[in-house]
Amino acid sequence: MHKDGNRKIGLGIMGWHDMLVSLGIKYDSEEAIETADQVMKFISERAKEASLALAEERGVFPNFVGSIYDTGKTEDRVRNATRTTIAPTGTISILAGASSGIEPYFSIAFIRKNILGGIDLPEVNPLFLKISKQEGFYSEELIQQIASSGKIPNDSDVPSKYKELFKTAMEIDYSWHVRHQAAFQKYTDNAVSKTI
């Protein structure tokens, strides 16, 4: 068996909760689960199509013979043994300014402590900042309240629609976390990174 002979790649998702908020879909909803299914199915199908085309042009991966893809069927002759994965994208998502992987927000506002040699840097979810200013419920006091707990206070003037859209990981029942993971895993060749 060839040591690096599987040509694995890892196409996946980053910014999932951001996308849901942009579409006006609650993370803890059937619509979110259906959307996850559709999005990952699309990525998986296109990745396989591209891998099939590459295999036709350049050949299958070196460890193809005897693998699960060695079926004799044309539709299984892929260039890459795996094509999709859901990585945690922790640091990358910070650099990209996106929510991490398929995770819900862990906080809407917080203070990054001791950055650049001792500076405390306030961080506010960019979508929340934009929407709160557009909809007229932004205030420094609100941001400070959110930064102290990470979530939108129940007694705040934030409309319930946005309280629902911006629920954080700890406010979302574990069953929705599991259901998101299952929806993505259905079309993912490798593992799904998910904190529950």
Query: pLDDT, tens digit, for every residue of 23-68?
Result: 999 999 999 999 999 999 999 999 999 999 999 999 999 999 999 9
pLDDT at residue 23, as a whole number? 98
174/162 Cα distance (integer angstroms)? 20
Asked whether residue 164 carries a pLDDT value surpassing 90, the answer given is yes
Query: pLDDT, tens digit, for every residue of 66-123?
Result: 999 999 999 999 999 999 999 999 889 989 999 999 999 999 999 888 777 788 877 8
Torsion of CA 183, 189, 195, 196, to 10 degrees: 40
Q: Where do runs of H (alpha helix) occur along 114-159?
A: 126-135, 140-149
